[in-house]
Each structure stands twice: as C-alpha cells, then as structure tokens.
Amino acid sequence: MFKQLGIYTAVGFVALVLLLSACSEENTESQTDVSPDLENAVETAGAEEAPEVIKPHKGLDQEVTPLKMERDGSDVYIKMTAQITDIDIDDGDTYKAWTFNGEAPGPLVVVNEGDTIHFTLDNMDPAIPHSMDFHAVHTAPDKGYADVEPNEDGTFVYQASNPGVFMYHCGTDPVLSHIANGMHGVIIVQPDDGYPTDDEVDQEYVLIQNEWYQYNDLDNMTNEEPSQVVFSTKALHDGQPNTNGTVGALLDEPLEANVGDKVRFYINNVGPNELSSFHVIGTLFDDVYIDGNPANHQEGMQTVGLPASGGAVVEFTVKEAGTYKFVTHQFNHVQKGAVGKLIVTE
Ligand SMILES: [Cu+2]
C-alpha cells in the first residue's frame, strides 16, 4: 500500500516536472534547477514502473508445442498448452509471452460446423492458472471456460454449431493481462455447405491482427495506446507461412498470388482493445462474409470493420501484377506495424 503510494507520489513528481518544462520552453533554468532529490524520485519512479517478468517465469522459455488434433467422425479431440515462450515482437524486442503452444497468436484451429470439440488444456505455466474461451461455442463459461491450475490439465466438451472465423483467448482474470500478454488465436468453423463463392477462390490465407503493450503492465494495457499493432498469418495449407505477431512479419514473408486470382482472407482482430478497419490497397472486396458466416454476405466493400474479437472472410480479385499492401485503415496503427503485403505475379 505505502509502496504504491510512493510510486504515485513519484509519478506525480514526474508529471509535475514534465508540465513545468513544457510550460516554460524558454526558461531552461527550470529544467536545470531540478533538485537532486527530485532527480532521484524520477529515477526511482522509472525503476519501480519497469515492466516485470513474474518470478517463476524468469529464464523460462518453453519450446513451441505442436497443436494436437484427432478426429473420430464428428468428434474432434484437441490438445493445447498454456506456456511461457519468448516471442520476437519487433527488431531486438523479445517478449516473454504467455501463449498457447508457444505461438502468439496461438496455433490455428480448424473444425467443421456441427463438430463436438473435446478440448484439453495442459497448463505448463508453473505459476498461474489459464483457461480457454472459444468464441465458436455455447457453454456455461464458469464450467466450459474454467481455470486450469499450474501444472495441471483440464478437459472441456462443447459443440461448434455456428460457422465462422472466431477468436479464442484465455479467459482467466484479469482477462486483459492474459490476452495482451499473448493468449489469443483463431478457430475457423467451416460451414456445412461452404461459401457460395468457394468455387471461385484460387488462394486463401489466414490473417490475424493483434496489439502489444508494455510488458505485463496492466496499467499500460488499460490506459495507454498499444506499443505495436501487427498482422500475423497462420498456415491454412502446407507450405504457407506461419508467423507470430511480429512487426514486419508479413513484409519479410509476403503472401503470394497470381494475376487474375480471387484471393480469400480469413481475418480476425483479436485485439485486445483496438478496432481494425481492414483494407487491401489497390483493390476492393467483391464478397465479404461478416464473422465468416455465409449468411452475412456483403458485396463491393472497400474496408471491413472488425471489432475486437470480430472476424470476416473477405474475397478480392487481383487484376494486375504488383505489390498489394494490406492494412488497418487506422493509419496510426500502420505506423506501429499493422501492414503486410501480397505479391501478385504473372
Ligand atoms: Cu491465461
């Protein structure tokens, strides 16, 4: 309590110093007049506020665990892990992420409409509980999304009765910490009768938008702008790239198509906080299925709005060779990394 008060007092001092210096641009004396005590307070505030790796996570970097999935008729048995794994989120910026299976976003899950999911979460985190909230299912959340304690596992059963491109995330309190630290991903529930445009599609990819904040800093996650906003892709077909949410990931490993192709993106904005205004520069979407449900068919859209956790299937035709960048049209987020490219060749 007193320690917290100390931090707030120190933060207050910092704010005061900043305010004073801003208010008196020409009066540089006021900056040089800062007393040694105040300088110490500034340093202390910086040190106290430094984002912290929680103790049992220090030095922990658990290897990526492949997703396990087996099918028996319409019963699918999915096993995933909660684990602590270093993720490169930017050049020289490694984040000791809380993850599913060591990826952030977590691995892509694809099931069919009507499947019964038997889901097991193996919590390899030695310190804190985790859980799984699939947006694709109906369940009593206190049971179906219940916490799994450290070094234990839990199994949950539910049905994927709606088609779509859904978010999944850890739902353990505080949810914001768990999502923003990396515990999010996408589950695609393939529609029974497919999409009306299935026959027209030549290339299809999965894209996910997410944000990063200061490390494990709930106050920053709650009150501040994201440090990075990024796109990643998850391999839907063999040979496709599979990336984490790293700045530049889809500039370094661009998606590919040929002139005349109809391209489909399964997209989801896993947030946790920001909206996405998804747009592909140089084309517009012939067909859009909001949340990936064939019933939500729209045509001729320039930009598709994705609320936090919202998904869509978007389809467009590339008529000329070139480099087509995809962005969120909230360009402040492009400055923070939310851009990738599709290279179209003859
Ligand atoms: Cu969690």
Same domain, 226 and 261: yes
What is the 205 CA–ligand 1 centroid distance (Å)?
27
Task: Name the nearest CA neighbour of 80 among 63, 65, 97.
Answer: 65
Together in a domain, 273 and 138? no
Please report whether residue 155 resides in a domain: yes
| Position 139 confidence tier, pLDDT thresholds 50, 70, 90 | very high
Mean pLDDT of 45-74: 85
Ligand 1 center–CA 37 separation, angstroms: 40
57 Cα–ligand 1 center, Å: 13
Residue with tokens 């005061």: 16
Query: How many angstroms is it from 126 CA to the middle of ligand 1?
Result: 12
What pTM was estimated for this model as a whole?
A: 0.85
pLDDT digits (tens, 9 = 90+) for 226-271: 999 999 999 999 999 999 999 999 999 999 999 999 999 999 999 9
Q: Is 245 found in the same domain as 148?
A: no
- The CATH number for 178's domain is 2.60.40.420
Span 287-318, pLDDT tens digits: 999 999 999 999 999 999 999 999 999 999 99
Does any domain span residue 83? Answer: yes
Residues 87-97 have a mean pLDDT of 96
Same domain for 81 and 158, yes or no, is yes
Task: Look at residue 4 in the predicted model and tell me its pLDDT.
Answer: 45
Determine the pLDDT at residue 283: 97
| 11 plus 29 within the same structural domain | yes
For 333: left if phi > 0, alpha if psi spans -120 to 50, otherwise beta; the answer is alpha
The per-residue pLDDT for 31 is 39
Please state the domain count of the chain: 3
- Ion ligand 1 residue ranges (Cβ < 5 Å): 130, 170, 172, 178, 183
* Average pLDDT rounded to a whole number, residues 138-162: 97
How far apart are the C-alpha atoms of 335 and 328, rounded to whole Å? 10
* 173, 228: one domain: no
| Last residue within a domain, chosen from 190, 217, 238 | 190
Same domain, 183 and 247: no
pLDDT of 17 strictly over 80: no
Query: Domain boundary at 170, 190, 210, which?
Result: 190
How much distance in Å is there from the Cα of 252 to the middle of ligand 1?
30
Who has greater pLDDT, 37 or 264? 264
Range of the domain at 18: 2-47
Q: How far does residue 149's CA lie from ligand 1's centre (Å)?
A: 10
Ligand 1 centre and the CA of 85: distance in Å?
13
| Percentages of the chain per state (helix, strand, coil), in multiples of 5 | 20, 40, 40
Tokens read off for 194 = 């497919």
Pull the structure tokens for residue 56. Answer: 């049992």
Residues 6+ apart with CB under 8 A from 127: 54, 55, 56, 57, 150
16, 75: one domain: no
- Provide the pLDDT for residue 107: 98
Assigned token pair, 304: 């598709």
Q: Which helix (H) or strand (E) holds 267?
A: strand 262-271
Distance between Cα 307 and ligand 1 center (Å)? 21
Sheet holding 184-190, edge to edge: 109-112, 184-190, 164-169, 133-134
Rounded to the nearest angstrom, the distance between the alpha carbon of 184 and the centre of ligand 1 is 9
pLDDT for position 8: 45
Distance 339 CA to ligand 1 centre (A): 27
Question: Facing residues of 208 across strands?
Answer: 232, 268
Cα separation, 338 vs 51, whole angstroms: 24
pLDDT, residue 51, reads: 59
CA of 321 to the centre of ligand 1 (A): 43
